[in-house]
C-alpha cells in the first residue's frame, strides 16, 4: 500500500458553474490558498478482486463517485489502472464545505501515480484530479494556486502555482458553524445556477475581472486588493445562488454572524476578510500578526462550534 496526503484549499476567487459537466470544465477561473492544518490521508494498493474497493473514514463508499472516476480514467483516458483498494480519511468532517473532495481526489491521484509509477507531472495530476472534482485540481500542490483554461478545451484546464505559500504566508482559520452534511451537492447547485440564474453570464465575466485583480494582488502581496477581489467573488457567487430557481443556500445563522463579525473587524482597520464555499463553514484570512484579535472576536460569536487554525 502507498500512502499519499493532500490538503483541501479555499478559493478566494470562486469557481461556480461549468462549461461541461462530464469533463468538469469550470465556467470561471479560480484562485485558492491551501488549508495546511487540514489533511486527507489516502492509502492505495492493488485489489485482488474484480472491481475497486473504496472506503472513506472506514466505511465502504456507497456513492460510487470514486469508482466512476477511476472508470473514466481507464476507459476515456486510456490509463491502465488495475482494480484498486482505497482507504481515505481526513482530520476534518466531509461534505460540509471544507473541500474534502478536493483533498480526497488530489491525494488519490498522487497515490495512484506512486503506486503505478506513472510519473505524471503536476499539470497532468491536476487535470486528472479535476475530472473527480474541479476544486481538487488546485490541491495537488501547496501555495497560491490558479485554475484557468481556454473555453471548453478540456486539456487546457489544470492548476498551476502562482506563488509558493512561504513567500506570503497569511493567517487562515476555519470557523465550524455546523456539523451536518450540506443539503445540495455543489455540482447540483452549480447546474441549477447555470440553467436558471438570470445573472449567470454576468457572473462569469465579472469573476474573470476579479480573477485578474486577485492574481495581481498576490504578485504584489497586496492584502487589501486581494481582500476586495475575494469579497466580491464571494458575493457574486452568492448572488448566483440566491437568484437560482429554486434558490440555493448553504449558510446558516452562525455563518452569517461570523461574516458580520469579520466585516466589523475590517471596518475597524483590522486586515481580515472572510469567505465561504458550498457549506456553512466560514474561512477567515488575515495578516498573521492580527491573529489574536481576529480569533478572540470570532470565538465570541454565538453558534460557533470551533475555530481551527488552518495555516500555522
Half-sphere exposure of 257 (CA within 13 A, CB side): 16
Q: Applying CB under 6 A, does 277 fall inside the site for ligand DP6?
A: yes
The window from 48-56, 127-135, 197-205, 238-246 that contacts ligand DP6 (CB under 6 A) reads 127-135
Nearer to ligand DP6, 12 or 265 (CB): 12
Nearer to ligand DP6, 15 or 274 (CB): 15
Q: Applying CB under 6 A, does 30 fall inside the site for ligand DP6?
A: yes
Q: Applying CB under 6 A, does 135 fall inside the site for ligand DP6?
A: yes
Q: Applying CB under 6 A, does 186 fall inside the site for ligand DP6?
A: yes
Q: Which three cell numbers stand for residue 257?
A: 454572524
Sign (positive/negative) of CA torsion 26, 174, 111, 41? Answer: negative
Nearer to ligand DP6, 99 or 115 (CB): 99
The window from 9-17, 154-162, 211-219, 303-311 that contacts ligand DP6 (CB under 6 A) reads 9-17
Q: Applying CB under 6 A, does 134 fall inside the site for ligand DP6?
A: yes
Q: Applying CB under 6 A, does 207 fall inside the site for ligand DP6?
A: no
What is the greatest pairwise CA distance in the chain? Answer: 61
Q: Applying CB under 6 A, does 14 fall inside the site for ligand DP6?
A: yes
264-278 residues labelled b (16+ CB within 10 A) or e (exposed)? ebbeeebbbbbbbbb
- Compute the distance between CA of residue 44 and CA of residue 215 in angstroms, rounded to an integer: 35
Residue 92: Cβ-neighbour burial (10 angstroms; 0-12, 13-18, 19+): buried
* C-alpha distances out from residue 81 to 104, 134, 136, 209, Å: 18, 21, 20, 40
Q: Applying CB under 6 A, does 127 fall inside the site for ligand DP6?
A: no
Q: Which of 7, 8, 24, 111 binds ligand DP6 (CB under 6 A)?
A: 24
**Closest approach of ligand DP6 to the CB of residue 268, in Å:** 28
Q: Applying CB under 6 A, does 178 fall inside the site for ligand DP6?
A: no
Q: Which of 6, 38, 56, 278 binds ligand DP6 (CB under 6 A)?
A: 278
Nearer to ligand DP6, 207 or 265 (CB): 207
The window from 10-18, 110-118, 156-164, 175-183 that contacts ligand DP6 (CB under 6 A) reads 10-18
- Compute the distance between CA of residue 263 and CA of residue 273 in angstroms, rounded to an integer: 7
- Compute the distance between CA of residue 132 and CA of residue 23 in angstroms, rounded to an integer: 9
Q: What are phi and psi of 110, to 5 degrees?
A: -65, -40
**Closest approach of ligand DP6 to the CB of residue 227, in Å:** 17
The window from 11-19, 159-167, 219-227, 241-249 that contacts ligand DP6 (CB under 6 A) reads 11-19
Pairing of strands 282-286, 18-20: unpaired
- Compute the distance between CA of residue 63 and CA of residue 55 in angstroms, rounded to an integer: 11
Nearer to ligand DP6, 115 or 276 (CB): 276
Sign (positive/negative) of CA torsion 13, 18, 24, 28? Answer: negative
Give the interface with ligand DP6 as residue ranges (CB under 6 A). Answer: 11, 14-16, 24, 30, 101, 133-135, 186-187, 277-278
Amino acid at each position: 500500500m502507498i500512502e499519499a496526503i493532500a490538503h483541501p484549499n479555499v478559493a478566494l476567487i470562486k469557481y461556480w458553474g461549468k462549461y461541461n459537466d462530464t469533463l468538469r470544465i469550470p465556467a470561471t477561473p479560480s484562485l485558492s490558498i491551501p488549508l495546511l492544518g487540514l489533511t486527507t490521508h489516502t492509502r492505495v494498493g492493488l485489489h485482488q478482486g474484480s472491481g475497486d474497493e473504496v472506503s472513506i473514514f472506514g466505511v465502504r463508499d456507497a456513492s460510487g463517485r470514486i469508482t466512476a472516476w477511476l472508470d473514466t480514467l481507464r476507459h476515456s483516458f486510456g490509463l491502465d489502472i488495475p482494480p484498486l483498494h482505497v482507504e481515505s480519511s481526513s482530520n476534518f468532517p466531509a461534505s460540509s464545505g471544507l473541500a474534502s473532495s478536493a483533498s480526497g481526489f488530489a491525494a488519490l491521484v498522487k497515490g495512484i501515480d506512486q503506486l503505478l509509477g506513472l510519473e505524471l507531472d503536476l499539470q497532468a495530476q491536476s487535470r486528472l484530479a479535476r475530472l473527480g472534482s474541479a476544486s481538487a485540481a488546485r490541491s495537488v500542490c501547496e501555495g497560491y494556486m490558479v485554475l484557468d483554461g481556454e473555453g471548453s478545451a478540456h486539456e487546457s484546464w489544470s492548476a498551476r502555482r502562482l506563488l509558493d505559500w512561504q513567500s506570503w504566508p497569511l493567517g487562515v482559520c476555519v470557523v465550524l458553524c455546523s456539523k451536518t452534511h450540506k443539503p445540495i451537492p455543489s455540482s447540483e447547485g452549480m447546474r441549477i445556477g447555470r440553467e436558471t440564474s438570470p445573472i449567470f453570464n454576468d457572473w462569469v465575466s465579472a469573476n474573470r475581472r476579479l480573477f485578474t485583480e486577485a492574481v495581481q494582488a498576490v504578485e504584489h502581496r497586496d492584502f487589501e486588493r486581494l481582500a476586495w477581489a475575494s469579497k466580491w467573488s464571494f458575493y457574486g457567487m452568492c448572488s448566483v445562488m440566491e437568484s437560482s430557481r429554486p434558490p440555493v443556500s448553504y449558510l446558516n445563522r452562525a455563518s452569517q454572524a461570523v461574516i458580520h463579525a469579520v466585516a466589523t473587524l475590517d471596518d475597524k482597520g483590522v486586515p481580515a476578510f472572510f469567505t465561504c464555499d458550498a457549506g456553512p463553514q466560514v474561512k477567515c484570512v488575515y495578516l498573521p500578526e492580527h491573529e489574536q484579535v481576529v480569533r478572540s472576536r470570532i470565538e465570541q460569536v454565538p453558534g460557533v462550534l470551533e475555530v481551527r487554525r488552518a495555516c500555522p
